[in-house]
Structure 1
Amino acid sequence: MGTRLHPLTLTCPKPLLPIGNLPIIARIIFALRKQNIREFIFLLHYQPEAFIDALGDGSAYDASFEYVALEKDLSTAGSVRCIREYVRETCLVHAADILAEAPVRAMLDFHRSKRSLATLALYPQPAPLSYGIVRRQPDGRIRQFLEKPTWPEVFSDWVNAGVYLIEPELVDHIPESDHQIYFEKHVFPQLAAAGAPLYGFPITGYWRDVGTPEDLRVANLEFLDGQLPAAFLTRDETARHRHERTFLAYGESNSIANTALLSETVIKSGCQIAANAKITRSVLLDNVNVLAGAIIDSAIIMDDACIGESACLLPNSLIGEGAEIAAQSIIQAHGVVNPKQRVSSGQVVPTRRVLPTGYLRGFVDGGSVMGMCFNADFMTWLGKAFGSRQALAAASNSEAVHRPILLCAADAGNMRELVTPLIAGLTAAGCDVACLQRGTLPLARHLLFSKNYAGGIYVGKEDDTNLLRVALLTGSGEDLTSLETCSLEFVDLLEHGRQGSVTAVDERYAYEHYLQALANVVPPGRVDSPAPVFVSIANAKIEPLLQRFVERLQLPLRINSLPGDVVVASPVETEGWHFEIDSAGEKLKVFFKNDAGMRTTISDGALAELLRQQVNGEVKLLFNWLMLPTCNREEDPRMIRVPGVKANFVDFARREKIPSWLSFDGQGSITISAWQSYPDALMVLVYLLPGLAALARRNDDATLRQQQLLSCTNELKAMLMRRLLENFAGNVTGISDGIRVGAEAECVIVRPCAGIDALQIFYAESPFNEKRNSLAALVTKNLTAWIKEKEDRFMKNGRRN
C-alpha cells in the first residue's frame, strides 16, 4: 500500500510513481528484459486497473505480462502462496519498489550450485538501520535475519536487497493466512534458524529502495544527473546521458514561461509553469499548475495540483493529487497536503514529520534516545512526537486525555537547552506538563507508578559514556521498547487545538512520597554496619534527598557528593565500605580497601548471594552478558542468563512467569522484583546494609567487566561487526545487542553505540590471570586494523578523484 509514501500513494500505487518520465516498475522491467527475462507475473491488490492501463500486455517491452489481482493485501510471501500453481520451476521474485543491478544469470548459477531452497540478493549497506540485515557464512549460507535494527543490534552490513530466487518447495513453507505474510519476517528467518539451505548472493553496483519520499526524490535526481545505470534506461535516455548530463526532464505538452527558473527537476506532461516561478530539485507529475512567483524546493507534487502565486513550498513537502495551494501560503519543511485539500491564501501548513526515514533509529538504545548533543529543533520534535503519541493512545479514554506528562531532569538548570524545547513540543501537542526540576530516574518512575500521569520523560547523562539520555516512559514508569521509540518518527505532528500548560512538581512532596516508600522496605530494627559506610553520588543536586533519607532511618552512612559532571571516584584511603551511585540514581557499585591498600570491587555474584538472603522466598537470579558469575554459580538452576547487554529482564520474567527475581546488568543496575520492576540504587543500598557483616571480602570473587570505546564512523560500524563475525566465527557465543566472542572470563563483547561514532568493547579481567585481556587485545587489534584499512582506502580514492 506504500504507507511510507502517503499522501502520494493515496491516489497512485507506489510502483507507478515516476523516476524521470517513466514509472518505477518500468525501470525494473527494463533491467530484467536486458537479462533476457520475458515472462512476468504481477501480483496486484491496490488499484490493479492502474497497473494494467500503464503496462499493457507487455508487447511494448517485447515481453509477456500476466496479472493476478488479489482480494486482500497478503504482502510478499502471502501473495506468492496464492499463485503456487504458477511456481512450477525456479522463479525470480522482485520487489516492485527496489532498483537493483542484480546479475540474474550468475545468481542462478550460484543458486543451483548450492541446491538452495531460496537465494537472496544481498547488498552491503553502510547504514542498514532502515533495512533487514542478514548474517551470512563464508560459504554463503544465511544463518540469521533482523528487520530494521537499532545500532546496538547491528551485526552485519549485508541487507536483504529485495530480489530472490525460489524453488517450488519453498511455497510449502509459507504459512497459510488471511493476514500479511512477509518473506523477510515470517518465512526466511524461520528457515534460517532451522538450518534450511538458504543462501545469500552478494551484489554490487546500483541499488536503491525507493519506498520513501526521500529516496524517491534522490532516485529522480540520480536519473537527472546521469547516475542511474543504463540497465534502467531506454535507448534514447542512454544515448542522451552518454553525451551530456540532463538536469531537467520534460514530458509532453508542458508550458514553461521564459522567466521561470528551473533546475534539477522532473516535470511530466501537461504542466504549466508561470513567470518568475522557481523550482529546484523537485518532482512534478501530470497537469500541475504553478502560478507566477511560486517557490518550490525539494518537493513532490502529484497530478492536477495547483500552486498559487508567490506560494512557498519548503524542502521535503508532499502535495497530494488535486490539492490547491492558494496564493502566498507556506508549506513548511516536511509539510503534507492531502489529495483534494485546499490551503487558504496566506495559510501556513506546519511540519508533520521532520526526520528522514530511519534517522531516529541511530539514537535509540533500549528505548531511550542517546546522543552527545541534541539541538532545539530535535528536542521540540521529540516532545511533540511523544506528546502526540500519548494523546492518541489516550483518545479512547476521555478521562485520560488530559492527564499530564511528567518531565524530570537530573538538573533542569544545567539542561535548560534540552528541557525548554521538550516542554515546547509537549505543550504544542496539547499535553499538560508537570515539571520536576531535579530528581533521579527511579524517583520519576515511582511518581509515574503511584500518581496519575499519562507518561514521562527523564533527561540526564550516562556516566560511563557521558552521553545524554532521554528516557521515554509509560504511565506505569516502564521504558518504551526500542520499537515503540523508533515508531515516533511516523507519528503525524498535527497542531493541537489546545495549548498545554506547565506546572511545577513540588520537590519536597515528591521526595517525601518516594522516601516513605523506600522506608517501607527497610528490615525491622536499627540497621547497623560492621564498618563505616561511605556513599558517593555523582549528582550533587540529589544530595538533600539522600541526606533526608539517612536522617529519617538513622542509617550509618557518610555522604560524599560530587559535581554533576564528575564521574564518581570515591576515595579508598579510609577503611570501611564504599558505595557509588551514578547521576541517574540507578547504578550502585560496592568496594572496600583490601589488605594491600588497593580498591577492591565486590562482584555482582557476591552481591547476589547477599541480596538473596534479604529477600523472602524462592528467588531467581537473572543476569545478562556483562555479569560474570563463577562456573558453579551458573550451574545453579536458580540462575538464568538473558542474552544481550541491555536485556529486558521485565519482559523475560513475564514471559517465563517468574514471580520473584533479582536482575543484574553487570554495570551496577540491580532490580529486586519484590520492590519494583526497575533498578533503584538507594533501594538496593537499603537491602544490602543489614548483611554487610556477612559479605566475604574475597579477592577471588572480584571478576569484573571492563569497557572501552573505540572510535569509528557510523559508516564503518556495520562492516566492522560483519568482519568480526567472519573472522571469529568459531568463537562467537552470542548475537543480540552486540556480538559476544568467547566465554565467561575470556569473553569479549563488541557493541555499536547509539548516538556516538564508536563501538563499545566489554571484556573480562581477573587480577590472577596472567594472560588477561588477550582475547580483548586480539579483537581490538583486528577492529583497529580494519578501521585503518578502510580509512587508507578512502584517502587513496579521495586523492585519485
Structure 2
Amino acid sequence: MKAIVLAGGFGTRIQPLTNSVPKPMLPILNRPMMEHIIIKLRDELGITEIGVLLYFKPDIIKDYFKDGSDLGVKIEYFLPDDDYGTAGAVAFAKEFLDETFIIVSGDLVTDFDFKKIKRFHEKKQSQLTITLTSVENPLQFGVVIANEEDRIERFLEKPSWGEVFSDTINTGIYIIEPEVLDLIPYKQNFDFAKDLFPKMMKQEIPLWGCSHKGYWRDVGNPESYREVFKDIFSGEIKLPSKGQVSKIDKGNVYLEDGSKLNKKIRVEGTVIIGKNVSIDEGVTLKNCVIGDNCRISKHSEIIDSILWNDVKIGVKVKLNNSVICNNNTIKDETKASFGVIMAEKCLVNKKVSFEKDIIMWPDKVLEASSVVSSNIIWGNRYKSSIFEDGAVIGRTNIELSCEMTTKLAGAFGSILPVGCSIYVSRDYHKSTFMLKRAFVAGILSTGVNIVDPYNVPSNVMRHALSKTDDVVAGIHLRQSVFDPTQTEIIFFTNEGLVLDTKLAQSVERIFFRENFRKVKYDEIGSIIEDKNLRDVYIQTIENSFDKNLFKDSELKVAIDIMNGSTSDIYPKIINELGVENIILNAHKSEKLKPNDIVKTQENMQNIVRGLNFDCGFLIYPNGHKLQVIDNKGELIYDYKLLLVLLALLDSTTDKKLKVILPAWAPDFVTYDNIEVSREKLSSFKAEQLKEYDLIADSDGHFAFNEFGLNRDSIFTSFKILELLEKSGKKLSKLHNDIPEFSYKGENIPCPSSLKGKMMRKFLEDAKGKKTSSTDGIKIWMNDDEWILMVPDQHNEYINLYVQAEDEKSAGKIFYSYQDKIEKWISE
C-alpha cells in the first residue's frame, strides 16, 4: 500500500500563521503537522512509499523532509504546473500509484485508526472509501449521508448553512484503488468532491463511507490551531513528543539537546522544550511548547502558549493562550493575559499591554507602553472571513477604520484588470463620506479607475451598472438602517448582483496575505465624475410607465421617504407621472433611529386612513425595501405584500409569468397565470435570473425583470400603482382576499457548533414525510402545512419558518419543533 499526502494548500483562513510557511509545516509539538501524518502512515500501515503533492511554497517542504530517509520512508514529490484541484493533482502521481493507496491531507491532526479504515475498504471490496466523522461546524467540509449499509447516497461540498443536511462530513481521508484514476482527466481542474464523486455516483460505482469516532481536526484557522494544543494538554489526543521526559516541580518536561533550564523555575502540566533553549530563574511554564533557540528571561510566565523558533522573551513578560511565531522579540513587562497571535519578525517594546485576544501581522513594531485593545490591522470579526453575503459590515471607525477600508479596497482592486473602471457610490452620512475616501485611495493604488456618482442610493448605481459595459463592478457604502453605529460596504458585479462567495474568497485571500497590487506611478487610477446616473435613472422609470394611464387617475398616494437618499429622486418621478401625492420626510437626515420605523408606520397608517388615500408607501432610506399601507390604513405585512402583488399580476396579465422566490416564501395561494419557483436565490447567475419576470422574497424586496434584476423599491411602488389602476381593485380588497392561513418566522438560539447536528436531527425526524433541501430543510405536515429550518449564516441562531392553516396549528408545529431543538441541543 502507498500513500499520497496533500500539501499544496495556501492556508488563507489560518493567516497570519501561514505568512511564511505552508500550512502542513505549522509546528505541532515542535514537528510539522505533516510529519505527524507521515509517522502515523509509517507506524500504523507500514507504508514506506509516500507521494507528496506540492503547490504553495514547495521548497520549504522539500528542504525539510528531503527524501524521507530520516523518517524511514521514501518520499517522491509531485508539483503540478497549475492548480488542477484535489483529484486533478493526484492524477500527476498516476504512474507512482500502481497499487491501493491512501490519501491524507498534510494539515490534519487525527488519531483515527488507519488499520480500521483499511479493513473496512477490503471488506466492502471498495474502489473508493471515504472516511466520515461528525463535527460541530460542517461548513468548511463536504456533508455526507450514507445508508445503513454505509453506501454514500448524498454528498454536498462546502455548503452554506441553508444547504447543510447533516453534521457528518468527509474528512478528506480516502483509500482508493488505482483504476479509479482512469476517471480523472489529466491536466484539467478536477476535484474529488465536486467532480469525481458525482461522476462515480452517476456511473453507479459505489462510494463507501467508513464512519469513525475519535479525534480529527482540520487546522483551518488560528483558533483551531490553538485548540489542538489544548486538546493535547488535556489528553484528548496523544502525539509523539521529542526529547527526554523528566518530572520538574508539578509538571512533565520534554527536553531536547542543548537546552538549559534554571533550577528555580515553576512547571505545571506538560511542557515541550526544543533545542538550544535558555530559561532563566523564576520563570513559570504551564502547558506550553517552546521551539528551538528561544530565550525566556527572568520571572516571565508562559501559560497555555506556543512559541515557535528564535523567540526572545524579556523579563516579567506574561503570555497566556498565545501563539508567537518565528523571530519575534517581546521585551520586558509586556502582558498578553487574554491571548495574542503574533506573526514573525515583530518587535514588542517594553510594557506593552494586550487587553484582549489580538492578531498581529508580520514585521510590526509596537511602541513602549502601548495599550492594544483591538487587532493591529482589523477587528476580531475578520479573523477568518470579512464578507457577509457580498458585504463587509462593521462598526464605523472601529472594525471599519480608514486603514481597514483602504486595505479592503486594495484587495478588491487587485482582482480587477489594470485600467478598468468601477462605480463607487455612497449615502449622505458623514461616516460613509469618510470611509469612501479611504476606499477610493486603495482602489486607485491598484491601477483601477473610479466613476464617482457621489451620493445616490444603491439601486441607482446598480441600475446603471447593469446597463453599461464600460464599468466592471460597483461599490456602495451606506449606514445601516437598523444599527447606526455600523457601516455596510456592498460589492456588486458588472451585472449589479452582489459578489458571490468565490469572488469574495479571492478578495479575502489577497486581503489576509496583504498581497496587494501596486502599480507604477503612471498607471495609478483616475477619478471620473458622473452626476448623470440619478437623472438617467429617473428618466428610465418615467419612460417605463404610460403617463396617460395616471393622467386621469383618481389614485391618491402618501409616501414617506424616511429622510433617505431617494429624497431628490422620488418626488420628481411621481410629480412627472402626475399621481396625486403627499410626500413626508423628503429631506436627508442622519437622525433616523431603528425604533423610528415603527412610528413612521403608525404615522402613515393614520394619514392614509384620515385622508382616505388609496395607499401609502414607506421607501426605506437606501431605496432597497418597500412597505405598503392599504386604503383602510392597514399595514400590509411583508409576506402578505408579496401575495398581494402576485394577485395583482395574476389578475392583470395576458400571458404566463415566471416568478422566483426563496424556499421560505409562503405557498398557500396558487395562481392561474403565474408559475412560481422556490429556489436558493444566491446560487443563481444573471443569465438564469433573466428567465423570470419577478424576483422577490417575503421581506419587502422586489426586482422586476422589465426594469432590472436588482431589487428596487421605487420602481416597485410605481408598478403597484400601475397594476392598481389597470385592475381597478382596492388594496384592502386584495389584502382581505388572501385566504386565511398562518405564516411565521422566528429565530431559535443555537450555537454554531451545533447547527450541523440540528440539521441532521431535523432530517432524521422527517423520515416518512415529504421533504426538500433546496435551502435549509423543509418538512411537510400535509399538503399545505410545513416547517423550514435554515441555520443563520453569520449569527448564533437558526431560522424557523412555519406555514399552517391557522394560528393554532402553526403554534403546535412551531412549539413541537422548538422543544425538539432545545432537546437536541442539550443532548
| TM-score, normalising length: structure 1 | 0.76
Matched, 1:748 2:765: no
Query: Counterpart of 1:316?
Result: 341
**Residues 496 and 18 of structure 1, relative CA distance in 2, 3 Å threshold:** closer
Residue 92 of structure 1 aligns with which residue? 102
Q: Secondary structure at the match of 1:783?
A: helix
Query: Which consecutive unaligned segments of at least 5 residues does structure 1 have?
Result: 60-64, 794-801
Per the alignment, residue 799 of structure 2 pairs with: 760
**1:643 alignment partner in structure 2:** 679
Q: Conserved in 1, the CA contact under 8 Å of 2:142 and 2:157?
A: yes
Shift of 1:19: 1.0
C-alpha separation between the residues in 2 aligned to 1:389 and 1:90? 43
The DSSP-based 3-state class of the residue aligned with 2:550 is: coil
Aligned to 1:714: 751
Give the aligned residue type for 1:269: D
1:390 corresponds to: 412
Residue 780 of structure 1: SS of its match in structure 2?
helix
1:438-587 matches, within 5 Å, as 440-446=457-463, 455-459=474-478, 471-474=490-493, 477-492=496-511, 514-527=537-550, 532-535=555-558, 537=560, 539-541=562-564, 542=566, 545-559=569-583, 565=594, 566-567=597-598, 568=601, 571=605, 573=609, 577-581=614-618, 583=620, 584-587=622-625
Q: 1:43 aligns with which of 46, 49, 52?
A: 52
Per-residue CA shift, 1:272-296, capped at 9, x if unaligned? 4456777665544445556778887
Partner of 1:725: 763
Mapped partners of 1:96, 1:273: distance in 2: 31
Partner residue, 2:292: 269
- Mapped partners of 1:245, 1:55: distance in 2: 35
Flag the 1:748–1:517 CA change in 2: closer, same or farther, 3 A. Answer: same
Contact 1:643 1:734 in 2 (8 A): no
**Counterparts in 2 of 1:376 and 1:778: CA distance versus 1, 3 Å:** farther
Cα RMSD, aligned residues only: 5.2
Alpha-carbon separation, structure 2, partners of 1:8 and 1:595: 59
Is contact 1:248–1:264 with CA below 8 Å preserved after alignment?
A: yes
Q: 2:439 — aligned with what?
A: 426
Q: CA shift at 1:678, angstroms?
A: 0.8
Report the counterpart of residue 704 of structure 2 in structure 1.
672
Match of 1:3 in 2: 10
2-structure distance, mates of 1:721, 1:384: 39
1:689 aligns with one of 698, 714, 721: 721
Q: Does the 8 Å contact 2:461/2:533 carry over to 1?
A: no
Matched residue of 2:341: which SS?
A: coil
What secondary structure, in the 3-state scheme, does the structure 1 residue paired with 2:400 have?
helix
CA distance, structure 2, for counterparts of residue 306 and residue 622 of structure 1: 55
SS in 1 for 2:51: strand
Determine the C-alpha separation between the residues in 2 that align with 1:538 and 1:191.
Answer: 56
Change (3 A) 1:246 1:436: farther
Q: How many angstroms does 1:90 deviate by?
A: 5.4
2:111·2:214 contact (CA, 8 Å) conserved in 1? Answer: yes
Separation (CA, whole Å) in 2 of partners of 1:597 and 1:327:
61
Cross-structure match for 1:69: 77
Q: How does 1:166-565 map to 2 (within 5 A)?
A: 166-173=176-183, 175-179=184-188, 181-191=190-200, 196-223=205-232, 225-230=233-238, 246-258=269-281, 264-273=287-296, 282-288=305-311, 298-302=322-326, 305=327, 307=329, 315-319=340-344, 333-337=358-362, 351=376, 359-360=384-385, 364-365=388-389, 367-368=390-391, 374=395, 376-380=397-401, 383-394=405-416, 396-397=418-419, 400=421, 405-408=424-427, 412=429, 419=432, 422-423=435-436, 426=439, 429=442, 440-446=457-463, 455-459=474-478, 471-474=490-493, 477-492=496-511, 514-527=537-550, 532-535=555-558, 537=560, 539-541=562-564, 542=566, 545-559=569-583, 565=594
Residues 81-104 of structure 1, C-alpha deviation per residue, up to 9 Å, x if partnerless?
Answer: 344566666543222211123244
Q: Which amino acid aligns with 1:707?
A: K
Residue 78 of structure 1 corresponds to which residue in structure 2? 88
| Aligned-residue offset at 1:741 | 2.9
State how far apart, in whole Å, the 1-side matches of 2:464 and 2:290 are.
Answer: 56
Gap change, CA 1:344 and 1:649, over 3 Å in 2: closer
Query: Are 2:26 and 1:17 aligned?
Result: yes
Distance 2:244 2:632 in 1: 82
Task: Decide whether the 8 Å contact of 1:300 with 1:316 is kept in 2.
Answer: yes
Indicate how the Cα distance of structure 1 residues 631 and 212 shifts in structure 2: closer, same or farther if over 3 A, else same.
Answer: closer
Q: Distance in 2 between matches of 1:469 and 1:753?
A: 19
1:662-692 deviation digits (Å, cap 9, x = unpaired): 3233443222223222121221222332332
> What residue in structure 2 maps to residue 62 of structure 1?
none
Could you report, residue by residue, the CA deviation over 1:343-367 in whole angstroms, capped at 9, with x for unpaired residues?
8999x99945655787437x723x2
Aligned-partner Cα distance in 1 for 2:450–2:92: 51
Partner of 1:798: none
Whether contact under 8 Å (1:352, 1:492) holds in the other structure is: no
Structure 1 residues 327 and 605: alpha-carbon distance in aligned structure 2, compared to 1, 3 A threshold: closer
Displacement of 1:185 in angstroms is 3.2
Q: Where do 5+ consecutive residues of structure 2 fail to align?
A: 1-7, 254-266, 587-591
Q: Distance in 2 between matches of 1:179 and 1:353?
A: 38
Contact (CA 8 Å) 1:537, 1:543: kept in 2 or not?
Answer: no
Equivalents in 2 of 1:525, 1:374: separation in Å? Answer: 48
Distance 1:576 1:396 in 2: 54
Matched letter for residue 102 of structure 2: L
Please give the alpha-carbon distance, in whole angstroms, between the structure 1 residues aligned to 2:717 and 2:648. Answer: 11
Report if aligned partners of 1:474, 1:480 keep a CA contact under 8 Å in 2: yes
| Counterpart for residue 650 of structure 2 | 609
Matched residue count? 748
The answer (yes or no) to whether the contact 2:112–2:212 under 8 Å persists in 1 is yes
Distance apart, 1:624 and its partner CA: 3.9
Partner SS for 1:130: coil
1:113/1:704 CA distance change after superposition, 3 Å: farther
The answer to whether the Cα contact below 8 Å between 2:52 and 2:77 also exists between their aligned partners in 1 is yes
In structure 2, the CA distance between the partners of 1:31 and 1:70, relative to structure 1 (3 Å rule), is closer
Quote the residue 1:101 is aligned against. 111
Deviation per CA, 1:518-549: give whole Å up to 9, x if none: 22222142515876444454734456643443
Residues 438-472 of structure 1: CA deviation (Å, up to 9, x unaligned): 864423434666899863224355789x9996533
Tell whether the 8 Å contact from 2:131 to 2:209 is kept in structure 1 after alignment.
Answer: yes
Structure 1 pair 329/230, CA: closer, same or farther in 2 (3 Å)? closer
Q: Secondary structure at the match of 2:136?
A: coil
| CA 1:269–1:165: 2 relative to 1, 3 Å | same
Other structure's SS at 2:187 match: coil
Is the 1:529–1:693 Cα contact (8 Å) retained in structure 2?
no
Does structure 2 retain, via aligned residues, the 8 Å contact 1:456–1:477?
Answer: no
User: Secondary structure, in 3 states, of the residue corresponding to 1:682?
Assistant: helix
Is the alpha carbon distance of 1:354 and 1:732 closer, same or farther for their aligned partners in structure 2, counting shifts above 3 Å? farther
State the partner residue of 1:163: 173
Whether 1:735 and 2:773 are equivalent positions in the alignment is yes
Q: For 2:764, what is the secondary structure of its paired residue?
A: helix
What's the CA shift for 1:16? Answer: 3.8
Deviations 1:43-88 (A, max 9, x none): 24324643544842654xxxxx342321316554234434456666
Match of 2:589 in 1: none
